[in-house]
Structures are given as C-alpha cells and as structure tokens.
Amino acid sequence: MLEITVKTFSQLSSHELYYILQLRSEVFVVEQDCVYQDVDGKDHKALHVIGKKDNAIIAYTRVFKPGDYFKESSIGRVVVSQKERHLKYGEQLMKASIKAIEDNFNTKEIKLSAQKYLEKFYNNLGFITQGEPYLEDDIPHIAMLKR
C-alpha cells in the first residue's frame, strides 16, 4: 500500500517538490521520449496527491478545482515510477485523487486528458470517453469525464 498525502503547493517541502519534478521528468520526458514543458505554471494552483513507499515518492497526481484547468475539476500528471507499476499503485492513486476532489472541491465531475493506451484503466474507474483521440505533445490522448 502507498502512503498517500494531499498538499497544496505551499505545503510542499523543497525536497518533495524536487522529487515530484524528478519523477515527472523521469517518466514523461525520458521514458516517453517527449520533449515538452512540464513546469507549466499551474502547479501552484493544484492540490498535489503524493504516493510514498519506504519514504520515497513513487506516485503522484495533481488535481484542480473547476475552472483552474478545465471547466470541470481535473486530474493530471498521473504518474507511477516504472519500477513500481507492476504493484498496481495507479488505481490506489487515482481513487485518492478522486476523493481529494470530492472532499476539497465538493464536486464529482472530473475531466481527464488521458493517454489513449490507458483508456480502459480510466473506464474501470468510472470515466467515460468523450470524443475522438487527439495528439498532445505527439502522444495520442483521449478526453474522459466522470460524473
């Protein structure tokens, strides 16, 4: 099991922020071979859902209240360290992220811009595909909504 905490940007320690950005870069930039601007100026608006194992950050999402990213609340930067994925922490992380939105923003409507290959994973969490696939940073994505 992951030890999950939810923090505002100002509650993050400099070490936590460093390891979050390192994990995001490790997966989204290096592993997925995608050059893009990860530090996008939106982290300060988000709640940060952090999954730790043996005191190391191995999983993470950021969640936004309605209007801060999409019209609906949203979950993004969903990431689990490659060496930990076989332990299925993604589902636990997403359930914690959904709960963080419900508890903090008093809504159940959540939008994702999901990588297309994860569509069934998100379907199993109650997200419904919206529209056609599109490219985001040259990676196929699909819009998904949970109500």
Non-local CB neighbours of 110 within 8 Å, separated by 6+ positions: 72, 73, 74, 75, 98, 101, 127, 145, 146
Instruction: Write down the pLDDT at residue 125.
Output: 97
Instruction: Write down the pLDDT at residue 34.
Output: 85
Q: Tens digits of per-residue pLDDT, 91-144?
A: 999 999 999 999 999 999 999 999 999 999 999 999 999 999 999 988 999 999
Structural domains of the chain ordered from first start: 3-106 (3.40.630.30)
Instruction: Write down the pLDDT at residue 17.
Output: 98
Q: Tens digits of per-residue pLDDT, 46-83?
A: 999 999 999 999 999 999 999 999 999 999 999 999 99
Query: How far is 85 from 132, CA to CA, in rounded Å?
Result: 27
Q: Is 1 a residue whose pLDDT tops 90?
A: no
Instruction: Write down the pLDDT at residue 37.
Output: 85
The DSSP secondary-structure symbol of 33 reads T
Q: What's the pTM value of the predicted model, to 2 decimals? A: 0.95
Q: Tens digits of per-residue pLDDT, 14-53?
A: 999 999 999 999 999 899 988 888 899 999 999 999 999 9
Residue 120 is encoded by which pair of tokens? 């069934």
Other beta carbons within 10 Å of 4: 20
